[in-house]
Amino acid sequence: MNFRLDPSLSHVAIEEPFLYEAYRSVKSVAPLDKEISPNECEAYICSSKENGKQMLYIAFWEVPKKTSHVFIPGKQPCSTAEYQKCFEQAQLFVTSQGFALEQIKLDYSTAMRQVIWGTIKVLKAPKEGAKSSVAPAPHRPALEVVKPAVKPSSPSSDTQTVQQVSAHTSAAVSVSKVIDLPAPAKASSGNTDSVLDTATAPGAEKQEAVCDKHQLPNEQLAPLQQRITFLETELADSRSNVTSLNERIKTLQSQYEADLNARDEEKGLLQSQLLLSSEKLDSIHRQHEEKLSCESTELGQRIDALTDELAELRDQLAAKAAETICAEKMREQVQRTLDATQEEYQLFQASHAEEIAIMTEELALLQEKVAELEGAASQEREVAERSSMELEQTMDAVRQMRIDAEKELEQARIDKEQVERVAAAALNSARAERKELMTMIEELEQENNRLKEELETEISAAGIREEQALAEVARLRHEMLVREEVTTLEFAGLRTELRRLVEERASNGTGCPMVETYSVPREEEAILRENSDSSEEISYSVVLDTCESITILPPEEEDSAAIFEPIPEVGSELFPELDNVIFPEMGASANSEFYGSDGQSATEFRPDRSLSAVPCPAPEAIIALYESANKIQTVPDGFSIQKSGGFIYAIMRNGKAEVYLVWQMLESNQALIYTPLQQPMDEEGFQKVLQDALFYFESVGFMMAPVDLSAPKSRTSALIRSPFLNHAVGF
């Protein structure tokens, strides 16, 4: 299958829906055929399938110029079998130009295919109204597909030689064309012919080419090839049998190449042999190649032996009248080569200081050997005869090596097919696993969506329950306030009735009533008038004293112990059920003492009127805080009846914990602070005093709850709710 350049195509016109297959090169390289492009290119193989018709294109995207060179087959495939064959030939054509291909996956959605289609630089959508079929391009010589040699797992030196020589002769001869050279040129340029014959004439016998795995740079190879061509032409004119001798020399080179490839230390020698044989037995050039190899003294000795053999062959060819002239020309060429070599070594010395000494010695030895060669012409003839015999033996060995190499290539091809089958099976397995994983991912996404919906439903239900709970709390608070008001009214009526009964009992029993009057607040007086069934005028409070002496004290100086001493007696006889109602509401006298519990604790608390607020050096000094969750009606001594709240503070001062009890008067906005008779001295005493303080407040009707002080925000919020503490703390 031949492919030709279509200059009428500046791109490949395939729409995204009809893109069937696409391959691209792994990296951009310069094609071996310089007629395609001398610059770096990216290679593409694209095919389309529209209405059952398949089209195939090969395109080279020139990176510097950003232009496309489109190749089409001589005939587009008409069936699937022809398409497959044409596609394989296209792959061989692209790989023969030095490109490594990889497939572009297209089994995605339409959107992803459009993105992939846009990344292929040689593709463009066809213009509207353009014909689907491509007009035939002007005639151009067909390009022959060169099948690259398959690299075996253990390649022989013969196979490596063919591949390397073909790579380094591409600058002069295109591997995609068959170039007919004149007979002398073909005979002398065996490296190029061996590659082309192998690629274009499968039935012909392959010729061996000698090339080291590490070639010289192109800058040094070009002038050497020019000198080789000049010497080859000169020798062809002087001797009629130059062709046969060149073939024998190439055979000798192949033998040396096989030996040197088996040993890494002889690689440089093979380079020298290739250049020396290409220059047609140029002894001076052999010396130059020996210096570039820089391997060892053993290599130099072998080069000397080979130089003697090749010099003998040269003298044998120049046995006629032109021998003297050729020798003179060769001598001049040797001198020029030596001069050029010396200049090269002067430049080479800067970067290879360690090798320059060895090279200088080898150069001196080579110069001496050149002088010896001029006086040893007779001895060289005998050496040439021996070399001829050795060459014949070498040719037999090379033939056997060629047979072995062909066997290795066949085995490598079989191994490659097996590897491709295994890779295809692995790819199918990976695709099946990917499909299973995609199915699992979809199931997990569905489960995740279901869980999200359930969570949202639960959150919504929790929000509804929270709203219901808040509504219930508001209702209960309202109910509690109503009950507190009712309880307050009931307590006021009971207190009035109790005072009336106590007054009657005292008048009837002792005949010496002691009446202490003080003004009743207007609010309390209104409540008493509403709830009292008596017609007496209520403008005072009655307290009985069983003592014989009558003493009337002002409210601020009265002794609460003397005033309230007989009340438990009367109340226990007449209204025992009222003890727990009256005393928590009445509270303690401002000058009285009280205990944290009735027999359960011995902590004594006293009011400290010198304190208007709890002394607190800093907010961090508060180690514990309890606040009453409810408010109750109380009548602390020195205050009118009103709602009160309770607080218990534990303050750390000077390394010791101190406890303070605070009655907060909500209506008068005042505070009455109690302290224990003795502040605790240790942790055990602190816990005991704190428990007694809690028991006292709970016994009078407060429901004490601890305040969270762990977080700075909650601590600040709690302290702000304590106005009698703000001044001391500094809020």
The count of domains in the chain is 3
Collapsing DSSP to helix, strand or coil, 128 comes out as coil
Measured in whole angstroms, the distance separating CA 315 from the mean position of its chain's CA atoms is: 71
| pLDDT score at 22 | 93
41 forms beta bridges with 29, 62
Place of tokens 């090379």: 398
Domain boundary among 355, 375, 395: 375
Amino acid at 137: A
40-91, pLDDT tens digit by residue? 999 999 999 988 888 999 999 999 988 999 999 988 888 888 899 999 999 9
Residue 561 has pLDDT above 80, yes or no: no
* Contact (Cβ atoms closer than 8 angstroms) between residue 616 and residue 638: no
User: Whole domain around residue 107: which residue ranges?
Assistant: 3-124
The residue among 684 and 192 whose pLDDT is bigger is: 684
Do 120 and 163 have their domain in common? no
Band of pLDDT at residue 210, cut at 50, 70 and 90: very low
Do 191 and 319 have their domain in common? yes
Would you say residue 667 lies in a domain?
Answer: yes
| Strands in 27-99 per DSSP E | 41-50, 53-62, 67-73
Collapsing DSSP to helix, strand or coil, 86 comes out as helix
Alpha helices in 510-536 (DSSP H): 522-531
Do 210 and 341 have their domain in common? yes
d(CA 295, CA 335): 24
Do 171 and 115 have their domain in common? no
Band of pLDDT at residue 276, cut at 50, 70 and 90: low
- Give the range with max mean pLDDT: 144-148, 502-506, 515-519: 502-506
Q: Write the burial class of residue 627 (CB in 10 Å: 0-12 exposed, 13-18 middle, 19+ buried).
A: buried
d(CA 493, CA 530): 8
Band of pLDDT at residue 284, cut at 50, 70 and 90: low
Would you say residue 427 lies in a domain?
Answer: no
| pLDDT score at 385 | 78
The residue among 129 and 102 whose pLDDT is bigger is: 102
Band of pLDDT at residue 676, cut at 50, 70 and 90: very high
310-328, pLDDT tens digit by residue? 777 767 766 766 776 776 7
Collapsing DSSP to helix, strand or coil, 122 comes out as coil
Domain boundary among 347, 375, 403: 375
Do 120 and 166 have their domain in common? no
- Give the range with max mean pLDDT: 5-9, 197-201, 217-221, 295-299: 5-9
How does DSSP classify residue 56?
A: E
Do 120 and 200 have their domain in common? no
Do 228 and 313 have their domain in common? yes
Residue 551 has pLDDT above 50, yes or no: no
Residues 6+ apart with CB under 8 A from 336: none
* Contact (Cβ atoms closer than 8 angstroms) between residue 213 and residue 164: yes
Collapsing DSSP to helix, strand or coil, 7 comes out as coil
Residues 6+ apart with CB under 8 A from 166: 175, 195, 199
Would you say residue 349 lies in a domain?
Answer: yes
Would you say residue 423 lies in a domain?
Answer: no
457-499, pLDDT tens digit by residue? 999 999 899 999 999 999 898 889 888 888 888 888 887 888 7
Domain boundary among 311, 343, 375: 375
How does DSSP classify residue 142?
A: P
How does DSSP classify residue 143?
A: B
Out of 167-176, 540-549, 587-596, 609-618, pick the least confident.
540-549
405-432, pLDDT tens digit by residue? 888 888 888 988 888 888 888 888 888 9
- Give the range with max mean pLDDT: 89-103, 130-144, 483-497, 552-566: 89-103
Out of 16-20, 122-126, 419-423, 720-724, pick the least confident.
720-724
SS (H, E, C) 327-396: HHHHHHHHHHHHHHHHHHHHHHHHHCHHHHHHHHHHHHHHHHHHHHHHHCHHHHHHHHHHHHHHHHHHHH
d(CA 213, CA 161): 7
Would you say residue 170 lies in a domain?
Answer: yes
Would you say residue 485 lies in a domain?
Answer: no
| pLDDT score at 640 | 81
Do 656 and 698 have their domain in common? yes
| pLDDT score at 130 | 47
Do 350 and 238 have their domain in common? yes
Angstrom CA distances, 75 to 2, 10, 36, 312, stand at: 9, 20, 20, 56
Do 105 and 229 have their domain in common? no
Do 319 and 212 have their domain in common? yes
Place of tokens 């088996």: 262
702-726, pLDDT tens digit by residue? 999 998 888 888 888 878 877 777 5
Would you say residue 404 lies in a domain?
Answer: no
Do 114 and 230 have their domain in common? no
| pLDDT score at 325 | 77
- Give the range with max mean pLDDT: 272-276, 397-401, 633-637: 397-401
d(CA 672, CA 639): 10
d(CA 306, CA 338): 19
Query: What string of DSSP letters covers 226-259?
Result: HHHHHHHHHHHHH-TTHHHHHHHHHHHHHHHHHH
Would you say residue 53 lies in a domain?
Answer: yes
